[in-house]
Amino acid sequence: MSIVSNKPIWHLLQEHSEQMQSIAMRDLFLADSDRSKKFSLQACGISLDYSKNRLTLATRDYLTQLAELQQVPQAIEELFSGGLVNASEQRPALHTLLRTPSQSVSENLQSESDQISVALEQMNAISSAVEKGDLLGFTGKQITDVINIGIGGSDLGPLLLFEALKPQMRSHLNLHFLSTCDKAFVNTVLSRLNPETTLVVVVSKSFTTQETLLNYAQVKSWMLQHALDWSAIQHQWFAVTASHDKAVDSGFNAENILPIWDWVGGRYSIWSSVCLSVVIVFGMEIFNQFLAGGHAMDLHVRQAPLSKNMPVILALLGIWYQNFLDAKTHLVVPYSCFLSGLPRYLQQLFMESQGKRVTQHGEPVEFSTGSIIWGECGTNSQHSFHQLLMQGTHTIPVDFILPKQSYDGSVNPVLTAHALAQSQVLMEGLHDVEAHQEIPGNVPSNFLMLERLDATHLGALLALYEHIVYIQSVIWGTNAFDQWGVERGKVMAKGLLHDLEHRSVTHQYDSSTESLLNQLSLSSNGVEST
């Protein structure tokens, strides 16, 4: 497949974007009273109004033509059928299988599905044992606290689920997260816990992640200060990893090790045993609801025509702004404090997946790929950066996300009013006032409403964004499932750590890094060059 920017449809969209530059959205609304109906969709308990975007019916037609020419429908099926969509590592990406009911799995993926079923049963058994009091601490006391040790996808996914659904957790349990290797922070967390009633889950796909292993060692040392030996506390420790043997070598009981697989990337692993800690404090029923919501969105993306397909439309709008209207960032503003971790979660999902400069075939791309994702929950965001949206000079598309009801069925009219007001003012602007008061408007936004903030709708929302990432990568021709860029920094850090610990420069660095090493040395005389 040739580079997409060389195709006639790409040039047609470039010409069309020039025509759209002078068109104000408020004029589009004045010219068509049914505009909102024409640019709205519903799927899986999520309603999308994308009428406040700089597009016409012709724009949508051109964009869906782009998706067809880039074979998006075929690529979606390739993802679900286990095709090798991760070309650089010659692997499938089977995160959707994690949320697919076993009776709906195709024959060629039955073996992987069976493994997933076993892992889910293991998660349920552990959660039930804690709930019933069958799994106790080393002095016979009931578990009160769970620590999740992991970083990246082993932290962001479970943390998002925990924060979003926190009011529904079991009342006698607390969950704590340790990600970065900050000894002082870890000590602060541990100072509030009782080792006799604390259960620990260590999550690392490779079981070589430096930050995770350092935190594991620190927490293990803390617990051993209060126990006879490792054998006394071993039953309170669980590992989630693709490297079973490494976990056993580190001291974990084989029956306390849950799998993660090579065909699931870390940033797509929220649907797996990576969320064991969450299942322990919430129960399996809520996690199953989460999986069901994700699967519902999977059915939608596979079955809906392109022009009525929510992930496809949002993916195409992202490409429209980034590649044709010069938008460099994308803002996510959820109007619920329970979703305050969503922008952070989406940062990894989008930026690690899409931060690529070559195609699947190793050819350099000639256009921008990968939006810079950022955000904050509303209304906090209004008191932080909405001024820049209103009167700044950047084009920043916005996703407003509003649950109609909170977890308990309550409605918050104040949050609703603010969310609607922001989207309208960004579109309409404010005119015929003093220059310093004028708001140009014409800032694009999508408005997504969830019927309710619960596990099912959260699952659908996260699956929606996953599919957006994949569809955009298909159109660009890039690989959404590798992350070679982060590996080099890990290698460099090992050499730097060696030199910091030994107070000498034995590796080759640029002059700036060498100078910083000298300043950071624990020796008052600095690091000695050798």
| Residue reference for tokens 């509030």 | 192
CA atoms within 13 A on the CB side of 363: 12
The alpha carbon of residue 326 and the mean position of all alpha carbons in its chain are separated, in whole angstroms, by 24
Helix 455-476 / helix 310-319 crossing angle, nearest 10 deg:
50
Closest by CA position to 218, among listed 162, 179, 248:
179
Q: Are 284 and 273 in contact (CB under 8 A)?
A: no
Among 383, 431, 498, 502, which one carries the catalytic annotation? 383
H-helix segments, 242-309: 244-249, 276-282, 284-303
Active-site residue identified among 37, 172, 490, 502? 490
SS3 403: strand
Please return the burial class of 288, using the count of CB atoms within 10 Å of its CB with bins 0-12, 13-18 and 19+.
Answer: middle
Nearest to residue 280, comparing CAs of 87, 452, 127, 59? Answer: 127
**Is the alpha carbon torsion for 117, 119, 121, 123 positive or negative?**
negative
SS3 content of the chain, % helix, strand, coil (to 5): 55, 10, 35
The answer to whether residue 438 is catalytic is: no
CA distance 513 to 494: 14
Q: How far apart are CA 153 and CA 267, in angstroms?
A: 5
Find, among 268, 248, 249, 250, the residue nearest to 260 by Cα.
268
Cβ pair 444, 335 in contact under 8 A: no
Supply the DSSP string of 17-65, one letter for each residue: HHHHTT--HHHHHHH-TTHHHHTEEEETTEEEE--SSS--HHHHHHHHH
For residue 395, whether the previous peptide bond is cis, meaning omega lies within 30 degrees of 0, is: no
431 counts as catalytic: no
Residue 490 among the catalytic residues = yes
Candidates 112, 131, 196, 352; catalytic one: 352
Q: How many CB atoms lie within 10 A of CB 434?
A: 6
Distance, CA of 232 to CA of 24 (rounded, Å): 69
User: What are the catalytic residues?
Assistant: 352, 383, 490
